[in-house]
Amino acid sequence: MDSFFADLKKVRESKRISLADISSATLIDVSMLEAIERGNTSILPQAYVRAFIREYASVVGLDPHETMRKYDEARNEANTTPQQPPVLEPTPPLKKPKPPEPDKRPGIEPRELLTQRNLKIGTGVIVTILVGIGLWALTSGKSSQPVQEIPFEAMVRENEERILGDTTARPAALVTSTRSATKDSLSLHAVISDTVWVQIVVDSAPPLEYLFRPPSRMSWKAKEKFTVTLGNAGAIQFTLNNKQIGTLGKPGNVVRNVEITREELARD
């Protein structure tokens, strides 16, 4: 697999095409292109990886069909390569512990040693009890607040929401654009049935990017038009002002800069 992606990078560099040039032509983020050149195909589902490699090959002048054939061969070869069993190193023999040396202090009999040991243990127990009583006396007068335990699932959910934010759609959740509905007369509604990357431009506003996972829903408001780019065109159904538009392409296909305007409402 590494040689396949290295060859892609060599072709691009030989033609002096930058990743920014490919990103401008395909609307694929530069970080995604860098990950593909490193062979890191686990960042996205295979449908996206294949679509991105096909677009990459087209921009650098390679035959997309031949490139995908080589990719499939390299992927199959990587999946069927036998793994070498791990080499187990011999465990060194355990050393027997040395027996404790007898106390060689002159003038002390074994019974005297036992008495001294018991005296030390008793003194330690008494000191521990006194310290505990002192700490209890210091803290008993203060009002202690109970420690609130947070369930593990709630903590995970809180971290996911903080990291992912609102750009990753929640299952079966309806997320509405923050644009005012009173001034916008076009309402675009989407129902997602498979993982899909979406870029949408509302009128002339800056583009918005999403990575949706099924099942989820999304809606936007606009005055004049929506410009849509999809990484998996067959994974999303659109409705404009309650009129069914359907999908903009087949599953796995990339469609770019498709305009959805008021004219869609006049079509039969």
Q: Is residue 179 part of a domain?
A: yes
Rounded mean pLDDT of 77-86? 65
Query: Structurally, how many domains does the chain consist of?
Result: 2
Q: Name the band, by pLDDT with cuts 50, 70 and 90, for residue 29.
A: confident
pLDDT tens track for 127-181 = 566 656 555 555 555 444 443 444 434 443 454 454 444 444 444 444 444 444 4
- Which 8-state DSSP code applies to residue 39? T
Q: Is residue 252 part of a domain?
A: yes
Q: Map residue 132 onto helix, strand or coil.
A: helix
pLDDT tens track for 187-199 = 999 999 998 999 9
Among 61, 79, 97, give the residue marking a domain's end.
Answer: 79
Among 79, 110, 141, give the residue marking a domain's end.
Answer: 79
Q: Is residue 119 part of a domain?
A: no
Q: Is residue 261 part of a domain?
A: yes
| Whether the model pTM is above 0.85 | no
Please give the Cα distance from 67 to 97 (Å, whole number): 65
Per-state percent for the chain, helix, strand, coil, to nearest 5: 45, 20, 40
Rounded mean pLDDT of 204-208? 93
Q: Which residues contact 49 (CB under 8 A, 6 or more apart)?
A: 36, 41
Contacts 24+ apart (CB under 8 A), 62-66: 62/8, 62/11
Please give the Cα distance from 139 to 144 (Å, whole number): 8
Q: In this structure, are residues 205 and 228 in contact, taking their beta carbons and an 8 Å threshold?
A: no
Minimal CA–CA distance to 55: which of 189, 221, 231, 178?
231
Q: Name the band, by pLDDT with cuts 50, 70 and 90, for residue 81.
A: low
Q: Is residue 101 part of a domain?
A: no
Tell me which residue range forms the domain holding 220.
165-266
